[in-house]
């Protein structure tokens, strides 16, 4: 037993050393594996950082493009709004001018109708006076003198009417030019 005990004592440290060596080897391998993993992870992190930077750059370009598009859209909307306001104002002016033109046209028509009526009355009066004058000539010189005075008054009246007609036609011509 004595020898066996020494062998065991010797074998125990040997086994323990072997065990420690195996454990050290395992730890070294784990360490190497961890270093490899660390290197791979660092490489992956580096790649992810590059990808992130690329994505951020892409997003930045997209955002800038979107901003430009938005600004252009806002400018277009502002232009459209101001154009619509100008169009509305223009339509209102046109409507007001059309109303004014219609009123002027109606007044001109009324004046023309009134002048036509006056002209017809003057023609009727003139025709009636001409018949009366012929009758007066047949009646005598005295009646002719009276007619002569009436005729002079009629000529004055006609001259006034002519002046009124000329003024009317000038107004009509001016209205048509406008």
Share of the chain above pLDDT 70, in %: 88
- Using a cut of 0.95, tell me whether the model's pTM lies above it: no
Question: What is the band of 34 on the pLDDT scale with cuts at 50, 70, 90?
Answer: very high
Structural domain spans, the chain: 2-177
* Mean pLDDT value across residues 107-113: 90
* Per-residue model confidence as pLDDT tens digits over 53-81: 999 999 999 999 999 999 999 999 999 99
The first and second tokens of residue 77, run together, are 């909307």
- Structure-token pair, residue 51: 């990808």
CB atoms within 10 A of CB 108: 16
Core vs surface per residue 12-28: b (16+ CB within 10 A) or e: eeeeeeeeeeeeeeeee
Give how far the C-alpha of residue 11 lies from the chain's centroid of Cα atoms, to the nearest Å.
101
d(CA 44, CA 38): 10
pLDDT tens column, 142-162: 765 776 787 788 778 877 888
Kindly state the percentage of the chain with pLDDT values over 90. Answer: 48
- Of residues 121, 122, 120, 111, the one with CA closest to residue 167: 111
pLDDT value at position 166? 82
Listed in sequence order, the residues at least 6 apart from 143 whose beta carbon sits closer than 8 Å to its beta carbon are 136, 137
Mean pLDDT of the chain: 85
Does the structure show a pLDDT above 90 at 165? no
Query: Any idea which of 4-18, 27-41, 88-102, 109-123 has the lowest mean pLDDT?
Result: 4-18
d(CA 158, CA 40): 120
Q: Is the dihedral of CA 138, 144, 150, 154 positive or negative?
A: positive
């Amino acid at each position: 037993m004595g020898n066996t005990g020494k062998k065991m004592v010797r074998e125990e440290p040997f086994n323990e050393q072997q065990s420690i060596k195996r454990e050290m080897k395992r730890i070294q391998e784990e360490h190497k594996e961890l270093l490899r993993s660390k290197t791979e992870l660092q490489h992956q992190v580096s790649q992810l950082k590059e990808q992130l930077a690329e994505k951020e750059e892409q997003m930045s370009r997209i955002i800038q493009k979107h901003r430009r598009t938005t600004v252009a859209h806002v400018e277009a909307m502002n232009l459209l709004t101001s154009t619509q306001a100008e169009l509305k104002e223009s339509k209102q002016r046109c409507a007001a001018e059309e109303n004014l033109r219609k009123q002027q046209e109606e007044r001109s028509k009324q004046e023309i109708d009134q002048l036509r009526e006056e002209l017809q009355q003057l023609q009727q009066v003139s025709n009636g006076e001409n018949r009366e004058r012929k009758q007066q000539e047949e009646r005598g010189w005295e009646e002719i003198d009276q007619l002569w005075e009436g005729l002079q008054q009629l000529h004055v009246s006609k001259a006034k009417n002519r002046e009124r007609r000329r003024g009317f036609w000038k107004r009509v011509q001016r209205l048509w030019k406008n």
